[in-house]
Chains A and B, each alone.
Chain A
Amino acid sequence: GAVVSQHPSWVICKSGTSVKIECRSLDFQATTMFWYRQFPKQSLMLMATSNEGSKATYEQGVEKDKFLINHASLTLSTLTVTSAHPEDSSFYICSAETSGSYEQYFGPGTRLTVT
C-alpha cells in the first residue's frame, strides 16, 4: 500500500515551453502533497505544499507564477513549470501524506531537462 506515482518519469523540453508533471496517490487519499526539487549531488529542497482544494503554500524563493501547483483532488496534484529554462533542469519529486500519518510517501521522481 501507500503508492505514489509520477508522470512522466522523464521529459525533455525546449526553453520557453511549459511542462506539466502529475503526482498521484494510487491507494490512499492524500490530504497533503509536497513538491521537491533536487539538483545533482544536493539534497531535496521543498518547493511547495499543497492541500486539496486550496492554494499551494510556496517556500521562500520559489516563484509561484513559474511553478504552478494544482491539487485538484485527494489523489492528484500537478506541477506545471511555465516558460522553462535550462536552469530549471532538475529532478522533481512529489510526496504525499494522509491524515493522521507522520510518514510521507515519495513518488519515483521526474527528471526534467530543458534544452
Chain B
Amino acid sequence: QKEVEQNSGPLSVPEGAIASLNCTYSDRGSQSFFWYRQYSGKSPELIMFIYSNGDKEDGRFTAQLNKASQYVSLLIRDSQPSDSATYLCAVTDSASGGYNKLIFGAGTRLAVHP
C-alpha cells in the first residue's frame, strides 16, 4: 500500500511567520510532487509542483524535495490569515501507466492567527 504521510496538525503560526509543512512518501518511483491548498468545503487548488531534488520558489512559497529521503516540504513565508487552510501533499504513483495517478496525504491544517 503506497502511502503519503503528513502531520494532521493543526499547525498554528502567527501572522508574518514562516509555516513549514512536511510530507513523506513510500513510493520510491514517484517522479512528481504537488502541494495543494484546500479551504473548507472547496476542492483543492494547486500551490506548487516540483520534480527535481532541491528547492523551488514561487512568491511566498518554497517547495523542497529530497528523493533519497523520500521527503517533500512546503515553506510559506510571511504567513497571512488567508493562508489558513488544509495543505495536501500529493505524489504520482509510479505504477499508474500512461497517466498521472496521484496519491494524496491526509493533509495538514494550518491556522495563521493575527
Contacts and interface: CB of A to CB of B under 8 A. Distances in A.
Interface of A: 31-32, 34, 42-46, 49, 51, 91, 93, 97, 102-104, 106-109, 111
A109 B42 contact: yes
23 contacts: A32-B99, A34-B101, A34-B102, A42-B106, A44-B44, A44-B88, A46-B101, A46-B102, A49-B96, A49-B101, A51-B99, A91-B41, A93-B43, A93-B44, A97-B99, A102-B49, A102-B92, A102-B100, A103-B34, A106-B45, A106-B46, A107-B43, A109-B43
Interface string B41-57: 11111100101000000
Nearest to A6: B43
A109 B49 CA distance: 22
Interface of B, helix, strand, loop or mixed by DSSP: loop
Contacts of A93: 43-44
Given A42-B106, A43-B88, A43-B107, A104 B100 contact: yes
A106 B49 contact: no
A90 B43 CA distance: 13
Contacts of B107: 43
Contacts of B25: none
A108 B100 contact: no
B105 A43 contact: yes
A104 B102 contact: yes
Contacts of A34: 101-102
A51 B97 CA distance: 12
Contact of B46 (A44, A103, A107, A108): A103
Nearest to A93: B43
